[in-house]
Amino acid sequence: MLKSITPDDIVRWFNYLAFGTPNPTENKKPTGCRANTLYSNKKKLSYYMIESSANWNHQAQNGNPTKDKSVNDVCKRVKKHECRGTGKESRTSEGFSRQELLTVLTGARQSIDTHIYSHPAYITLQNTLIARNDDMANIHPKEINENMRAGFEGTLTVKLHWSKNVVDETQVSPQIILGSMNSSLCPLVSLTIYISTLQESHFENQTMVGQVLVRFYDVYVRMLKSYIKFIMRDTH
């Protein structure tokens, strides 16, 4: 059955998904789905093709039909409508507004459980980075260090282990953790408080985890000292 699928079949299907008809006119607008939906379906279908790595051969009628130009043309047409504002509206969720973020942090800091310090640190740090929730969960203390570049005193760097869409370590670049003059939003303040609470319960145990936490805490102490000097320099 898979061998009988042709690029025309996929084009008609994609047109139906996006335009609501297998044969849309030039003036028809793609209000059924967005280009990313088509690209996703194209990738999924391509995975199950018998000759998934081969280009489509029109003469022999074999190969991978998802790689034919006509299939990509449908995706590009839908994408062009999105750029013009005539396609399906995006349903991408928006990030927190400043007030919403402050409300979430206030609630986290009023908690009575053991996460009263860890959750604010997690939230304020993610607010300054390009990261998903699962990326944040994979952060290891050894990946957070002082920023040694001139002009960036008082900042940290972190290298995330992205959980999705990354297949090569070289694609992951270090990110800079900046402080904030608003103590409620400052990840440096929240993280330092959180690490300080771990000192008594974790630092006395000289296991591998304990040693990492000691090093992590020392980095913050040195960072805060340079951060204070940096602020004092600008106030004089």
Q: Is residue 89 part of a domain?
A: no
Average pLDDT, the chain: 81
Q: Is residue 93 part of a domain?
A: no
Q: Is residue 147 part of a domain?
A: yes
Last residue of a domain, one of 84, 106, 122: 84
Separation in Å, CA 235 to CA 54, 224, 230: 64, 17, 9
Residues 68 and 145 in one domain: no
pLDDT one-digit tens code per residue, 31-69: 999 999 999 999 999 999 988 889 999 888 889 999 999
From CA 59, how far away is CA 51, in angstroms rounded? 16
- Report how many domains make up the chain: 2
Task: Specify the residue for token string 């297998």.
Answer: 22
The one-letter amino acid at 92: T
Q: Which residue has the higher pLDDT, 15 or 215?
A: 15
The β-bridge partners of 71 are none
Residues 68 and 102 in one domain: no
User: Considering only CA atoms, which of 157, 153, 161, 96 is closest in space to residue 127?
Assistant: 96
Residues 120 and 193 in one domain: yes
Q: Is residue 53 part of a domain?
A: yes
Residues 158 and 77 in one domain: no
Across the range 64-76, mean pLDDT stands at 94
Residues 149 and 181 in one domain: yes
Residues 125 and 44 in one domain: no
From CA 216, how far away is CA 236, in angstroms rounded? 31
- pLDDT of res. 206: 47
Q: Is residue 42 part of a domain?
A: yes
39: exposed, middle or buried (C-beta count within 10 Å: 0-12, 13-18, 19+)? middle
User: Considering only CA atoms, which of 2, 30, 35, 1 is closest in space to residue 16?
Assistant: 30
User: pLDDT at residue 151 above 80?
Assistant: no
Q: Is residue 143 part of a domain?
A: yes
Last residue of a domain, one of 84, 108, 127: 84
- pLDDT of res. 224: 67
Separation in Å, CA 234 to CA 153, 186, 227: 12, 18, 11
Phi, psi of 86 (to 5 degrees): -110, 10
Residues 104 and 75 in one domain: no
Residues 61 and 161 in one domain: no
From CA 49, how far away is CA 154, in angstroms rounded? 53
Residues 55 and 22 in one domain: yes
Across the range 10-35, mean pLDDT stands at 94
Residues 129 and 50 in one domain: no
Phi, psi of 116 (to 5 degrees): -60, -25
Look up residue 60 and give its DSSP letter: T
- pLDDT of res. 137: 77
pLDDT one-digit tens code per residue, 169-224: 666 778 888 878 788 888 888 887 887 776 555 545 445 445 555 555 666 666 66
Last residue of a domain, one of 24, 57, 84: 84
Residues 62 and 130 in one domain: no
Q: Is residue 90 part of a domain?
A: no
- pLDDT of res. 193: 80
Residues 36 and 134 in one domain: no
Tell me the pTM: 0.55
132: exposed, middle or buried (C-beta count within 10 Å: 0-12, 13-18, 19+)? middle
Find the domain containing 7 and state its range.
2-84
Look up residue 22 and give its DSSP letter: S
